[in-house]
Amino acid sequence: MVRSRKEAMVERMELRRWWESKYLWGLTPVLIWALIQGIDRQPADPAAPIVLQNQEYCQPLTRETIRLGTFNIHGFKGRDGVADIARTKKSLADLDLVVLQEAHGAPFGFWENDVTQLGAEMQMASCFAATEERYWSESFGNGLITKVPVEQIWRIPLQGTQGRKFRNALVTCFELDGQRVNLISSHLDKRQDHDVQLKAIIELFWSVSEPAVLLGDFNTRIDDSQLRALINDPRIDEVISGDQHPSDKGVDWIFTRGLRARAAEVRDLGASDHPVLCGEFELIQEGDPESMPVQITHLLPDGTRRE
């Protein structure tokens, strides 16, 4: 039986549709797996290089002090639920170097992460040290913005047992009055991994030479035993006690070795659910007392200052 030209064409089209459906069904599990991988949070690659953006904004210090701060920016979202980068900028005015927590990336890398945006707005160099990846891009983590040059920046993963809530420590150094100062920053888990992570960053703090700074959001209140041991150590200067915070959190900290604060501030302008902790620091010279009483100023949401 001789098929007509039309019948042959129909048969080829049906065969083609059959193969296309086979390919589609074969690809479906792959596409589903890829989607799950994109949605699921994964730890950021600790070996991926951390690039300091806009280094042209960095200039060596011309004075013997540096103004340091730590701020959990909460994705620029204030206590009123409104995201406003302008309030964050105002909260960090006049600081030389600030470490940041709860900075967000962008799905698929479509726009700049929070740290890069803030650095560009404030004309400061910046780096984003992501703790996790999602949607095939760095999605959440820590960072810093700086007006002073910093050396190589490392991120060190911290132990986590929850399959998410990944954490790291950011480590770098800068020069103050001719000396290298080591800086360690972190944002710790508040639940089952907290104690192990706090122990790790304290050990890291002791392992580096002084002068050194340990600062960040440790999700740790003043009654924590590990923290109390650090506060009570005569070799450590703890800048702002947790019970002096103007909020109910009291989980952000600045500790120093070989440095002391000339002045300290708690800035709570409503730019986040955390205040900014900051201070002006100098090297401890031979013969100087290890620490001196520091006047702490509280900058409140209405712009008033309270000693």
Query: Which pLDDT value is given to residue 5?
Result: 66
Query: Which pLDDT value is given to residue 33?
Result: 46
pLDDT tens-digit map of 175-203: 999 999 999 999 999 989 999 999 999 99
Which residues, given as ranges, of the chain have pLDDT below 50?
1, 30-31, 33-35, 243, 245-247
CA angle in degrees (0–180, nearest 5) for 96-221-194: 90
The 10 Å CB-count burial string (b at 16+, else e) for 209-218 is ebbbbbbbbb
- Beta-carbon neighbour count of residue 64 at 10 Å? 13
Determine the Cα–Cα distance for residues 86 and 142; give it in Å rounded to an integer. Answer: 19
Determine the Cα–Cα distance for residues 192 and 217; give it in Å rounded to an integer. Answer: 16
Percent of the chain with pLDDT over 70: 81
Query: Which pLDDT value is given to residue 30?
Result: 47
**Which tokens belong to 174?**
């800068």
Cβ-Cβ contacts under 8 Å for 113 (sequence gap 6 or more): 103, 104, 105, 106, 128, 130, 138, 143
Determine contact, residues 55/96, Cβ cutoff 8 Å. no
Cβ-Cβ contacts under 8 Å for 92 (sequence gap 6 or more): 69, 71, 98, 118, 122, 145, 276
Query: Which pLDDT value is given to residue 135?
Result: 74
**Which tokens belong to 188?**
């710790």
